[in-house]
Amino acid sequence: MKRAKRWTALLLALLMLCGSSALADASVLTESGFPIVSEPVTLTVMGSISAVQPEFTEMYLMNQYEEMTGVHIEWTSVPSSARTERVTLAISSGDLPDVFLKCSISASNLQVYGDSGDLLDLAPLLETYAPNFWAYAQQYPDVLASITTPDGHIYSLPAIADAPAARMNKKLYFNQEWMDALGMEQPTTVDELYAVLKAMKENDPNGNGEADEIPLTESTGTLYMVFGGLFGCFNRGTHHEEYDVDPETGAVRHIKTSDAFRQTLEFMHQLYEEGIIDQECITFDDSRAVGLISQDRQGVYFATNLALLPADRMDVWTPASGWVDGAIWPLMRSHLHSVGAFAISADCENPEVALRWVDYFYSEEGVRFYHYGIEGDTYQVNEDGSLSYTDEILAQVTGDMSYDEVVSQYSPYCGGNNPTIMSYPGYAGMELSPVPMASAEALMPYTPEIIWPFFNYTDEEKDIVTTVGTEIDTYVKQTCAEFLTGVRELNDEEWNAYVQRVNDMGLESMLQVMTAASERAMSIIGE
Amino acid sequence: MQSHHARLLRRSARKYWDLYLLLIPVLVYFILFKYLPMYGLQISFRDYQPRRGFFGSEWVGLKHFARFFSSYNCWNIIGNTLLLSMLTLLFCFPLPILLALLLNEMRNGAYKKVVQTATYAPHFLSTVVVVGMVTAFCSPSTGIVNVIIRALGGEPIYFMAKKEWFRPLYIISEVWTSMGWDSIIFLSALAGVDVQMYEAARIDGASRTKQLLYITLPSIVPTIAVMLILNCGRVMNIGFEKVFLMQTDLNLSVSEVISTFVYRQGIISTQTSYATAVGLMNSGVNFLLVLLVNEISKRVSEVGLW
Amino acid sequence: MVMHAAKSRKIRRTTEDKVFSLCVYALGTVFMLLAAYPILYVLAASFSDPEMIVSGQVFLLPKGLQLRAYEAVFKSEDVLIGYRNTVLYSITGTVINVVLTTVGAYALSRPDLSGRNVLTFLISFTMFFSGGMIPTYITIRNLHLLDTFWVMVLPGAVSATNLIIMRNFFQHSVSQEIIEAAWVDGCSNAGTLWRVVLPVSGSIVAVMVIFYFVGHWNAYFDAMIYLSDKNRYPLQVFLREILIQNQLGDMSGGAEAVGQSEMTLLYESLKYAVIVVATLPILLVYPFMQRYFVKGIMMGSVKG
């Protein structure tokens, strides 16, 4: 294997010596538009597929795209549940495809494979060969900041979240039946918020005569963010649950040892004691909320969309019309949805063709093509401007075939991590249905002004983050939950002991890392 | 007696060579699929980079081991791992033997089959489902355990949120899923006991309790010894999945074990080398433990792995 | 007098034995109920309305009876392909496993095999130390086993643990006299194993069959790593994919599923139905294997 590699290297060198063959490849590309190549080119692609999806060769749009572009694809499909291992094995064994598609390669893996020379650095190629992506990234440089390593390399194209509803990972919904029963309006101050929650708990809004109402439930992590936002915490968005910027000093701070967060915990503890916050939030998973809602026992719901709920309980929920004045709604990410959606291997002979091939999906037209296909052929435009598949296609949705299975015969988007933009109206996810969209729009003004992108760390920083950082996070997680539930009393003595312990664990070095990483990221964004 | 037989066999070792013939397929298998890939272990001492390969990656010596031991919480985590696995061994090892003995004493064949099939069925449940059921059964509002506690006039307990309940719940569910399955091997050993010995004992007037204590148990001691040695070889390998799924914010100080700790660190950076190093350390400890237990067992019961 | 004493001793013994027997059945029943309840719960949940499961209303009987979970599992042809493949892998694999393990264990159990302790030690060593996923993959690729039928069978051809367990049985539970007798009759080693040792080792062979068979039946990881052709996937891979597809999940992780009906409540009953579908066939086979445990006793009584 080693020898084979050396031979390939030699061969490549020879080719380079022979002169123009490398350049000749570049000229395979057409000026612009379709087809993208002047002579047939073949790319090998390793793509991830999930259970509902057929092979890529059986997807209508992928075949259409092959004709449009003139690029023939040889697909290797891997099951989505093993995509991480399959990428690792492909790279470690040297059997590299030209392109990895939808494989959800993690940021740290990208950096490892990139540094070792297995993945191609896309940074110098993007402006020329991926004009659509580049234009978007110039407009929203937080995308670039998220995918650029500390050395300035870019090893993958990401899935981009554009529509507010796609960027906001949790939206807020109220149980309108309860609000009507209580005769209350959505809260705009902390006191009103408390009054609404208290009334939900005590005034039997579901009218069954039992005090079985649980106003709200969520994971502790989400609850910290929602209530922390009332006290100015989590002011750098949802990618960063542990660190943000102190509004007074402008320095990076550890959120969960700040005084503001102590106030948050005091407030939350009161709510917990009064039974307003679910007593079982420690073991929360989504089925908890669904269970409560199907029994009409929950008043406030936080979720991406309403798809989880039983059909007969969906209409109960009304989108938030705003949030508490002056508070932050921190559950908002940057324009980056997920990295590793598209990567080119170092063995690829036509990287510029691969880039042109994928770049179309980052255009307005390409987004529609990727999710819905061709107007009149596979999709139609509705009166309100939204898109939907044609009636003939939707007619295939029966008891035997789910919606996802039907559309997967056409589009590759199911399973997520797509190299495209989640924008309205081209993106086909459930977040863009009316209620979540309305909630997202109403909460937009409350989202943090500056949202930190994903941080990429240097090797030295990584060592600190993985050791000191993880240990602090683990300890903080347990202690905050103890304060929340009252296992540990939240008084000066206990709080100071907790803060002291976190400092002893090496918080200072973490603050330095976060400061350096955020400065690097913000310098790319230019703020 | 034993040595006499051995001598006799050795003397008549005329077709000695065909024993090796029988061994060849097994040896080929172990060389090909187990020993050949073992060069991979060296990445514990290197910074593995895929393109450079196992032999080309930079040699960093004990860096990854040092990193593990320099963690703030490392000894707490090692302690949690050892305690949890020792307790698991303490309960999960003897109970299958007890179950096997019980089944062996059952004279009603049909009932025995029902009991056996029921106890061994939980082996087939996936970890996710087992933990899901533990959480569901222990829910303070709707869980059956708390329904019973309330019916008896007690206060419901939020088991999953109490760190003192983490270990009991882990062990109980572990016993439940493994007891029937693990008893199979002891049942097979019990099937090998000479029935003539029982007949002789009955004629001598020994009660069934005595038969159990003086015939049945001693005859499966070799199996018990070997199984114990093998189990000691897993002490550091507390399964990742189940602990991870049973972790809640409030039990982290007792539920964080080596495998979950390494997983948490791995989220931020890819650490093939680091994870391999920690795995190697675990295996090393287990291996030493087996060497030790094997020696003790050879002295006490004359049973050993080699 | 003597008669009387003997009689009273006999009576005392039977009372003691009765108490003993009672204890045996009582404890056995407790164990059975403790194990059976969760299994019955799984069965009930698989037939229940997922809403009833998540709101904690299922205890012993299905609530809101429905078959959607089973429909979801069986509607895809893949599951039938998976069943076929799993049966083929399990049977072929188990035959290879049991033959190799028996032969190897017998050889290692013989005190006259010089070097057997070293060999056993080296084999035990592999229970603790392995090269890891990547070198094993490269080895298998170099053997040209990737994406073939044999990759599901050969890489796990012998388990060191089972080899040791079986060797231990041959050493301690098979009488050395009968082996010796076979020698005197001029039997070869293979002949001794086949004609003398195996007939009294029914129970351990049955254990090996169960251990290996169930191992193959539940295996999925190797399939996901080494197979690309969907037509070769075993049942467990399809079932896992169906589960993941239907998993309730929050989207905050970022990289996970995007689809209209992908996140569905059905998962809650599906995960139980999947267990029933995957386990029931093998659970029903087990009682038939049990007769070999009894047979072992009868054969054992012949020896000596």
Element housing A41 (H / E): strand A41-49
Name the 3-class secondary structure at A119: strand
Mean local confidence (pLDDT), A53-62 = 93
Mean pLDDT lowest among B24-28, B157-161, C245-249: C245-249
> How far apart, in whole angstroms, are the C-alpha atoms of residue A367 and residue A387?
12
What domains does chain C contain, in order, with CATH numbers?
14-66 (no CATH), 70-301 (1.10.3720.10)
Q: Give the type of residue at A455.
A: F
Q: Which residues contact A320 (CB under 8 A, 6 or more apart)?
A: A171, A172, A173, A174, A186, A439, A442, A443
Name the 3-class secondary structure at A375: strand
Looking at residue C264, what is its pLDDT? Answer: 67
> What percent of chain A clears pLDDT 90, i.e. is strictly above it?
77
Looking at residue A272, what is its pLDDT? Answer: 96
Q: Single out the residue of C27, C299, C202, C295 nearest to residue B103, CA to CA.
A: C27
> Higher model confidence: residue A110 or residue B302?
A110
Contacts made by residues C77-84, CB under 8 angstroms, sequence distance 24+: C78/C230, C78/C233, C78/C238, C79/C235, C79/C238, C79/C239, C79/C277, C81/C230, C81/C231, C81/C233, C81/C238, C82/C233, C82/C234, C82/C235, C82/C236, C82/C237, C82/C238, C82/C239, C83/C235
Q: Are B251 and B166 in contact (CB under 8 A)?
A: yes
> How far apart, in whole angstroms, are the C-alpha atoms of residue C169 and residue B93?
19
The reply to whether residue B121 touches residue C272, judged by beta carbons under 8 angstroms, is no
The reply to whether residue C190 touches residue B114, judged by beta carbons under 8 angstroms, is no
Q: Which residues contact B168 (CB under 8 A, 6 or more apart)?
A: none
Q: In the predicted model, is pLDDT for residue C299 greater than 50?
A: no
Identify whether A425 is preceded by a cis peptide bond (ω within 30 of 0).
yes
Looking at residue A163, what is its pLDDT? Answer: 94
* Banded model confidence at residue C184, pLDDT cuts 50, 70, 90: confident
The reply to whether residue B38 touches residue C135, judged by beta carbons under 8 angstroms, is yes
Looking at residue B213, what is its pLDDT? Answer: 87
The reply to whether residue C225 touches residue A82, judged by beta carbons under 8 angstroms, is yes
Q: What is the mean pLDDT of chain C?
A: 82
Task: Give the tokens for residue B299.
Answer: 């002295």
> Higher model confidence: residue A2 or residue A359?
A359
Residue A338 exposed, middle or buried by CB count within 10 Å (0-12, 13-18, 19+): buried
Q: Are C163 and C108 in contact (CB under 8 A)?
A: yes
The reply to whether residue B141 touches residue C56, judged by beta carbons under 8 angstroms, is yes
Is the CB of residue C263 less than 8 Å away from at least one CB of chain A?
A: yes
Question: Per residue in A113-149, is it b (16+ CB within 10 Å) or e — as a string?
Answer: bbbbebbbbbbebbeebbbbbbebbeebbbbbbbbbb
Is the CB of residue C268 less than 8 Å away from at least one CB of chain A?
A: yes
Which of B18, B39, B43 has the CB atom closest to C190's CB atom? B18
Looking at residue B9, what is its pLDDT? Answer: 55
> How far apart, in whole angstroms, are the C-alpha atoms of residue C63 and residue C56?
10
Question: CA end-to-end span of chain C, whole Å?
Answer: 38
Q: Single out the residue of B185, B184, B174, B171 nearest to residue B120, CA to CA.
A: B184
> How far apart, in whole angstroms, are the C-alpha atoms of residue A472 and residue C103?
54
Mean local confidence (pLDDT), C66-74 = 85
**Mean pLDDT comparison of A436-445, B106-115, C200-209, highest-scoring range:** A436-445
Q: Which residue of A has its CA nearest to C57?
A: A291
Question: Per residue in C95-113, is it b (16+ CB within 10 Å) or e — as a string?
Answer: ebbbebbbbbbbbbbbebb
Could you tell me whether strands A243-245 and A252-254 are parallel, antiparallel, or unpaired per DSSP bridges? antiparallel
Q: Single out the residue of B184, B189, B12, B181 nearest to residue C171, CA to CA.
A: B189
Looking at residue B30, what is its pLDDT? Answer: 96
Q: What is the DSSP letter of C197?
A: I
Classify the phi-psi angles of A322: left when phi > 0, otherwise alpha if psi is within -120 to 50, otherwise beta. Answer: left
H-only helix segments in chain C: 2-46, 50-54, 68-74, 77-109, 116-128, 133-142, 160-173, 176-184, 189-192, 202-218, 221-226, 235-246, 267-289, 291-302
Q: In the predicted model, is pLDDT for residue C203 greater than 90?
A: no
Looking at residue C282, what is its pLDDT? Answer: 84
Q: Give the type of residue at B241.
A: E
Q: What is the CA A414 to chain-centroid distance, rounded?
A: 15
> How far apart, in whole angstroms, are the C-alpha atoms of residue B243 and residue A23?
55
A143-178 pLDDT tens trace? 999 999 999 999 999 999 999 999 998 999 999 999
Cα distances from C130 to residues B123, B210, B262, C152, in angstroms, run 26, 46, 18, 19
Q: Which residues contact A198 (CB under 8 A, 6 or more apart)?
A: A274, A276
* Banded model confidence at residue A430, pLDDT cuts 50, 70, 90: confident
Q: Single out the residue of B27, B35, B298, B29 nearest to residue C113, CA to CA.
A: B27
Angle at A512 between CA A511 and CA A515, to 5 degrees: 85
* Banded model confidence at residue B50, pLDDT cuts 50, 70, 90: confident
Q: Which residues of B touch C25 (CB under 8 A)?
A: 106, 111
Checking ipTM against 0.90, whether it exceeds it is no
The reply to whether residue A404 touches residue C259, judged by beta carbons under 8 angstroms, is yes
Q: Closest approach of chain C CAs to the CA of B280, in angstroms?
A: 7
C129-172 pLDDT tens trace? 988 889 999 999 999 999 999 999 999 999 999 999 999 999 88
Q: Which residues contact B19 (CB under 8 A, 6 or more apart)?
A: C107, C110, C112, C113, C189
Q: Which residues of A touch C229 (CB under 8 A)?
A: none
**Mean pLDDT comparison of A187-201, B15-29, B127-141, highest-scoring range:** A187-201
Looking at residue B290, what is its pLDDT? Answer: 93
Q: In the predicted model, is pLDDT for residue A245 greater than 50?
A: yes
Q: Give the type of residue at A479.
A: T
Looking at residue B11, what is its pLDDT? Answer: 52
The 3-state secondary structure of A460-518 reads: HHHHHHHHHHHHHHHHHHHHHHHHHHCCCCCCHHHHHHHHHHHHHCCHHHHHHHHHHHH
Q: Give the type of residue at C133.
A: M
Q: Which residue of A has its CA nearest to C222?
A: A82
Q: Which residues of B touch A474 (CB under 8 A)?
A: 73, 252, 256, 264
**Mean pLDDT comparison of B191-200, B264-273, C159-168, C276-285, highest-scoring range:** C159-168
Q: Is the dihedral of CA A444, A446, A450, A456 positive or negative?
A: negative
Q: In the predicted model, is pLDDT for residue A129 greater than 70?
A: yes
Name the 3-class secondary structure at A44: strand
* Banded model confidence at residue A526, pLDDT cuts 50, 70, 90: confident
Q: What is the mean pLDDT of chain B?
A: 87
Greatest Cα pair distance in chain B:
76
Q: Which residues of C touch A416 (CB under 8 A)?
A: 255-259
Subunits next to B (3 or more Cβ pairs <8 Å) are A, C
The 3-state secondary structure of chain B reads: CHHHHHHHHHHCCCCHHHHHHHHHHHHHHHHHHHHHHHHHHHHHHEECCCCCHHHHCEECCCHHHHHHHCCCCHHHHHHHHHHHHHHHHHHHCHHHHHHHHHHHHCCCHHHHHHHHHHHHHHHHCCHHHHHHHHHHHHCCCCCHHHHHHHHCCCCCCCHHHCHHHHHHHHHHHHHHHHHHHHHHHHHHHHHCCCHHHHHHHHHCCCCHHHHHHHHHHHHCHHHHHHHHHHHHCCCCCCCHHHHHHHCCHHHHHHHCCHHHHHHHHHHHCCCHHHHHHHHHHHHHHHHHHHHHHHHHHHHHHCCCCC
Name the 3-class secondary structure at A262: helix
C18-56 pLDDT tens trace? 888 899 999 999 999 988 888 899 999 999 988 888 888
Q: Are A158 and A137 in contact (CB under 8 A)?
A: no
Looking at residue A6, what is its pLDDT? Answer: 47
> How far apart, in whole angstroms, are the C-alpha atoms of residue B237 and residue C130?
14
Looking at residue B199, what is its pLDDT? Answer: 83
Residue B4 CB neighbour total at 10 angstroms? 9
Interface contacts B/C by beta carbons within 8 Å: 286
Q: In the predicted model, is pLDDT for residue A307 greater than 60?
A: yes
Looking at residue B3, what is its pLDDT? Answer: 55
> Tokens 């948050």 belong to which residue?
A264
Looking at residue B77, what is its pLDDT? Answer: 92
A386-421 pLDDT tens trace? 999 999 999 998 777 778 889 999 999 988 899 999
What domains does chain A contain, in order, with CATH numbers?
2-164+337-369 (3.40.190.10), 173-331+447-527 (3.40.190.10)
Element housing A337 (H / E): strand A336-344
Which of A112, A467, A505 has the CB atom closest to B67's CB atom? A467
> How far apart, in whole angstroms, are the C-alpha atoms of residue C44 and residue C59?
8
Name the A residues in 438-457 with CB < 8 Å from any B CB: 457
> How far apart, in whole angstroms, are the C-alpha atoms of residue A71 and residue A353?
8
Chain B residues with a Cβ under 8 Å from any Cβ in chain A:
49-53, 67, 70-73, 135, 139-141, 158, 160-161, 248-253, 256, 261, 264-266, 268-271
A446-455 pLDDT tens trace? 999 999 999 9
Is the CB of residue A282 less than 8 Å away from at least one CB of chain B?
A: yes
Question: CA end-to-end span of chain A, whole Å?
Answer: 48
Q: Are B40 and C131 in contact (CB under 8 A)?
A: yes
> How far apart, in whole angstroms, are the C-alpha atoms of residue A338 and residue A147?
10
Q: Which residues contact B198 (CB under 8 A, 6 or more apart)?
A: B211, B215
Q: What is the DSSP letter of A186?
A: P
Q: Are A341 and A418 in contact (CB under 8 A)?
A: yes
